[in-house]
Amino acid sequence: MSLTDAVRRIDGIRDVLGQKALRLAYHAALPVVMDAELLNLLRVNFFLDPPDDLPYEVEASLLLSSLFREIGEGLYEIEPGLRNLLLSGLQRDYGEERVRRVAALLEQYTGASVAWRGWPELDAAQRLTAPASPLNSQNRPCDPGRTTSRACGNPDSRPGSRAIVIPRR
């Protein structure tokens, strides 16, 4: 896919679903593969509160859009050219700290989910995409079992807010 075609496709998604949905797509570009549960976790962790709040219906609209291609068993991928542009948007609009937070969520989800365990190559790719040891703002390993999202280096969370902890299956 050419850069021009990728830009056109992303602009089309923005026109149909809006800028906020495109920002969720920026986050969804970090994993190599995506499933509905992981997209939901991205929305709940990063797009639940104003001014960036998104309704849950956006998740299905994104997965069914031309950004994603179903690869089987409820798993989706984004073409490399599109993925690179979306990742550039994530970095540009949110910075390195947000990229680390998305990677930490991906690492937690990959460790707890069975979504791609039947696909060893995808499981390995997800594990390589997320950093091996996400660090919080105090340079300690992220502790997903703590009750505040500051435990995983979320500096913009309000006191008393809760981190989304992914249960082991």
pLDDT of residue 143: 38
User: Which residue carries 């976790």 as its tokens?
Assistant: 41
pTM above 0.75, yes or no: no
CA–CA gap between residue 71 and residue 158 (Å, rounded):
38
CA–CA gap between residue 93 and residue 35 (Å, rounded):
24
pLDDT of residue 159: 35
pLDDT of residue 53: 93
| Per-residue pLDDT at 20 exceeds 60 | yes
pLDDT of residue 124: 63
With a CB cutoff of 8 Å and minimum separation 6, the contacts of 107 are 127, 130, 131, 132, 134
* Continuous segment of H or E residues that includes residue 12: helix 3-17
CA–CA gap between residue 12 and residue 123 (Å, rounded):
31
Ranking 29-33, 57-61, 65-69, 154-158 by mean pLDDT, the lowest is: 154-158
Q: Which residue has the higher pLDDT, 116 or 104?
A: 104
With a CB cutoff of 8 Å and minimum separation 6, the contacts of 157 are 148, 149, 150
| Type of residue at 156 | D
Task: Look up residue 163 and give its two tokens.
Answer: 């981190």
Question: How would you label 31-59 residue by residue, b for 16+ Cβ within 10 Å and e otherwise?
Answer: bbbbbeebbebbbebbbeeeeeebeeebb
Domain boundaries, the chain: 3-152
| Per-residue pLDDT at 116 exceeds 50 | yes
pLDDT of residue 73: 82
In total, the chain counts a number of residues equal to: 169
Taking only the tens place, the pLDDT of each residue in 31-46 is 988 999 999 999 999 9
| Per-residue pLDDT at 117 exceeds 70 | no
78 bridge partner residues:
68
